[in-house]
Amino acid sequence: MSQGRILAFVLGMVLLGGCGGGANTESASGGSPAPAPAPPAPAPAPVCLGSFLGQNRLLIGGQMEDTTAQAAPFDLRYTYVTGGLSPRATCHNDCQVDASCGQWWGCWQDPSLPPGQRIRDFLAKTEQVTSWQGQSLRQRPWLSYYQWFYAAGYKEGAAEVQALNDAQRLRNYLDDWRFLLQQVGTTPVILHIEPDLWGFVRDQNADPHQLPAPVRQAAGMDCQDQEDSVAGLARCMLKMARIYAPQAALAIHASPWYYHMPGDAQALTQFMKELVGEQADIWVTDPSDRDAGYYLATGMDRTWNIWDESKARLYLDWSAQLYVASGKPMALWQLPLGNSLQNNTPNHWKDNRVEWLFAHTEDVVQAGIGALLFGAGQPDQTLPETDGGLFVQSTIHLWQKGGQPLCP
């Protein structure tokens, strides 16, 4: 087993314990079926992004192994920063100071190396200039920071939000965030902040200013100008990123759990504006965290995770409304990799999003979406390495056609 595969497996096993980025797409609790769909509203007028991360075409990427990353002209490559906080502050300086440091993401590496080396290596290899059929190609690294679930004691929902009011816990969390930003430095990375958390916050109160969080006590001098609320926390994290990682693009997660309900795009926009104002560069949504065939095979009633034409159109219409209301470009993240040729066994689950989205790229960009990122929400889902090559071939085919302009 290669070092890359070992790291991917370890990370995957961590994610299996509760990672999200969409683990509760249907409802905030993740346990009850979604409400019945509303009658379809008139489709919004097509929009034109103009540019996304400095490019004028739809960007394609995902979570993948090194060999896959070089098999097609991918634009973006993401990995998680997850698994929990360091057990002691000294681990930030030396992975060998205590055996427990190895539990922390900053020491998932050769312990003799400086902490954070795994992330620094990922950034370096991802942005390295390569060539694809005679043209230079530089992928852009994307880091999905999913840490509060673990910092809160493996809790979701109301308990996870309530834990934000714990000053010591929040201080340790922001120390971890600062450490990551220091590893990023001036690398032009995309920082994707806390899949799921803001959706749980919204379920507790549509006004995040009303939910307490001791930001100034926890963040020290970095955020003395922020209020002690969950909104203050989100804005503090973005401010810290501007200080320590000034070349990063900042992506805030906008959970799409109620996209099928009338008026949700406008309500979600209002919430997100209260949460972060205009500070984020990109808003990220995730249609599903698992392959549709997996949910069917395991008997889970998650019909909104299975796209047919009307549901796909509804999601794009919602995305377009969100873009118009917010003015923020969208990225679809952790899209399932299953396809119609799979057999509904582990790592080979059926889904149709790869096929549907690559067949409708013009509709995608006209919904205000500038990037599609595909990846597995847990390690037994279909992977780029197990999908029969469809994701790689679809990416190559789109590139050979000249890509999808953002303004068709």
Render pLDDT for 243-253 as a digit per residue (tens, 0 to 9).
Answer: 999 999 999 99
Cα–Cα nearest to 195, from 235, 156, 253: 253
Among 279, 160, 178, residue whose Cα is nearest residue 220: 178
| Residues contacting 128, CB < 8 A, separation 6+ | 138
- 152-162 confidence digits (pLDDT tens): 999 999 999 99
The answer on pLDDT for 11 being more than 50 is no
Is the pLDDT at 21 greater than 50, yes or no? no
Strand-pair category, 130-132 with 135-137: antiparallel
Q: How far apart (Å, rounded) are the C-alpha atoms in residues 280 and 261?
A: 25
- In the predicted model, what is the mean pLDDT of residues 110-118? 97
C-alpha distance from residue 375 to each of 13, 98, 264 (Å): 15, 33, 26
* Rounded distance between C-alpha atoms, residue 81 and residue 108, angstroms: 11
Short-list 285, 293, 333, 326, CA closest to 76? 333
Please name the residues in contact with 86: beta carbons below 8 A apart, sequence gap of 6 or more: 92, 101, 104, 106, 107, 172, 176
Q: Which residues contact 259 (CB under 8 A, 6 or more apart)?
A: 265, 285, 314, 315, 318
Q: Which two tokens stand for residue 352?
A: 């149709």
Q: In this structure, what token pair is assigned to residue 122? A: 């990922």
Q: What is the pLDDT of residues 213-228, one digit of tens each?
A: 999 999 999 999 999 9
Number of other CB atoms surrounding residue 208 within 10 Å: 25
The DSSP secondary structure of 267-311, one letter per residue, reads HHHHHHHHHHTT--SEEEE-S-SS-HHHHHHTT---GGGS--HHH
Would you place residue 43 in the very low, low, confident or very high pLDDT band (cuts 50, 70, 90)? low
Average pLDDT score over residue span 72-98: 96
* Angle value at C-alpha 226, between 172 and 216, nearest 5 degrees: 40
What dotted CATH number matches 3-85+116-400? 3.20.20.80
CB 16 within 8 A of CB 379: yes
Model confidence at 8, pLDDT cuts 50, 70, 90, reads very low
Of the candidates 106, 127, 128, 125, the one whose C-alpha atom is nearest the C-alpha of residue 117 is 106
What are residue 39's phi and psi, to 5 degrees? -55, 140
For 261-276, write each residue's pLDDT tens digit.
Answer: 999 999 999 999 999 9
User: Which residues, other chains included, contact 235 with Cβ-Cβ below 8 Å and sequence gap of 6+?
Assistant: 223, 226, 275, 276, 277, 279
Between 44 and 200, residue with greater pLDDT: 200
Please state the separation of Cα 348 from the chain's center in Å. Answer: 22
**Residue 256 Cα distances to 17, 152, 201, 236, angstroms:** 22, 22, 13, 23
Q: What is the mean pLDDT of residues 92-112?
A: 96
> Which candidate, 197, 177, 283, places its Cα nearest to that of 239?
177
What's the start-to-end Cα distance of the chain, in Å? 44
pLDDT of residue 131: 79
Q: How far apart are CA 95 and CA 97, in angstroms?
A: 6
Distance CA 43, CA 253 (A): 24
6 pLDDT above the threshold of 70: no
pLDDT at 374: 98
397 pLDDT exceeds 50? yes
Structure tokens at 272: 């997100």
In the prediction, which pLDDT does 37 show?
Answer: 43
302: pLDDT confidence band, cut at 50, 70 and 90? low
d(CA 251, CA 267): 19
What are the tokens at 43?
A: 């489709």
Q: So what's the pLDDT on residue 303?
A: 60
CB proximity list for 222: less than 8 A, separation 6 or greater: 174, 178, 236, 239, 240, 243
Percent of the chain with pLDDT over 70: 88
Q: What is the pTM of this model?
A: 0.90
pLDDT confidence of residue 301: 66
Residue-level pLDDT at 308: 87
Cβ atoms 384, 392 nearer than 8 A: yes
